[in-house]
Structure 1
Amino acid sequence: MPLIADELTIWDISFRWAGYDPSRLWFRLPLTVKDYARLLMHAILHGEIVCVNLTLAKRPPESKADPRFYIRTYVGDVYDCIFGKRFNRKLLRWATLDRMDFHEWCERRGIPLPEFWFPSGWKLDFEMPELGARALCATHLEPEDEGGFSLRYDYPEIVEEGDNKNKEKNAKETDDSLSLAITSKDSENNRKLRANQKAKIACQQIAGKIWVDDLHRTIPSIVEDELIQKYGGGKHYDSETVYEWIREIAPPEVKNRRGRPRKNRDKES
């Protein structure tokens, strides 16, 4: 079954691309797996693709930053991998690539997209229904009997064009420099936008304005911001969906900002 995970390690990509199971115990790496690992590590080192947790930036000697996020920490292992001398399995299980960054790299290289991550006929993203996915509209209802279960589905209201103008007017009273209405030179195309597309555009416009004023804001903090939730329509969609919308337009210094590594990755390595 193909994967649609947002991120995969070089270890996973190399094995799956070569048609092998990465979870098996491998005493010797298959030749095709080695070749894919060499190819990907070369792309990372030469800046062809962004590695989620290995930056090309130089870490100052006295920095408090975790050295594991800097490729120079592993420079010997990186070159050994590229030249096929030795493969540091811990490094291959650590270095992680974003799905869309990988997609762009393949296109720029003219490399056919691997079926395990980009199956033929599948869309890159989930096409959200106009009123949002039914599962996301579920609301708890207190059952009549002890141990029972009950819920209802509250779909968001369809906002007409006139209501959008009113929202824009109200939003400008809050912040004159913030435009929340979705505008288009072609009004016909604008009317064809689905509700989730309008919400995505609005959320991205708001996030862009927030970062102009404060570049220190993180993506999660912007996702939870009242402007995104209330005026951008983010409250009608799950947080992961809104997160991906915001991440698409995040400045590089924000998108590549990393906190403490996740514990499960420490265990894998």
Structure 2
Amino acid sequence: MAEAQNERPSGTAADWTIPQDWARYTAVEHATWDKLFARQSAMLPSRVAPEFIAGLDILRLSRPGIPDFAELSERLMAATGWQVVAVPGLVPEDVFFDHLANRRFVAGRFIRTPEQLDYLQEPDIFHDVFGHVPLLANPVFADYMQAYGQGGQRAAGMGMIDKLARLYWYTVEFGLIRSDAGLRLYGAGIVSSYGESVFALDDPSPNRLGFDLKRLMRTKYRIDDYQQNYFVIDSFKDLLRQTLETDFGPLYEALEEEPDIEIETILPTDKVYTRGTQAYFRDRGTPGNV
């Protein structure tokens, strides 16, 4: 989750949505989507959670060109009761949580330029739709996203958004999942990035640690580069179960009493899949922690 503007732009609805205006996309923009899609879909099958691949098929995202949100939402609604709505950019936290709590996923409608294929600071339609939406066709993950939105509404009233944001970051955006075949990707920030799709599983630099809700919510994260830590869940069912069964009130009280954990730290209580060398990050410096 990133910082958003708080003044609603002109031309947006009260909930910050705007028409996607699919007909306005140019041939170059559709070609950019197709190039990004082809590159990711060719390298992900052996790396990504199978639920993601199933979502691509259910939603027919392999069809050429930028998806039309109306058609996409029709298929998604039939699968899990979710829909995709267009917004002008990053939206305020309360708006974001309200949409998630009501099974609406907000997506930017612009797409990066051909010169920006490998990096873009603000999430575009490829990150939002290719990265996030396939897993929303999975009933368990769809329920987790709704639960997160409802939790965000409660956290806002307790002044704990920054702690809860770490849960979103380390699961929805940059999560890994355990499988019989080894670790697999599922976070949208990884699966929509060619470079990080390789780095997150293959590079010796980052730590790969077992998911622990409280520990994760104490842990800082990077906003400017690949991640120094990836947290590994056992399953989507277990992630949803822990989210629904946790009383976040006492958890937030405990978090207020404990210091943040620096990114590269490995605790004695951690389940360690990979003890990273951190070499990549030492070479580049480590600004940008949140």
**TM-score normalised to structure 2 length:** 0.24
- Higher Cα Rg: structure 1 or 2? 1
Return the TM-score normalized by structure 1: 0.25
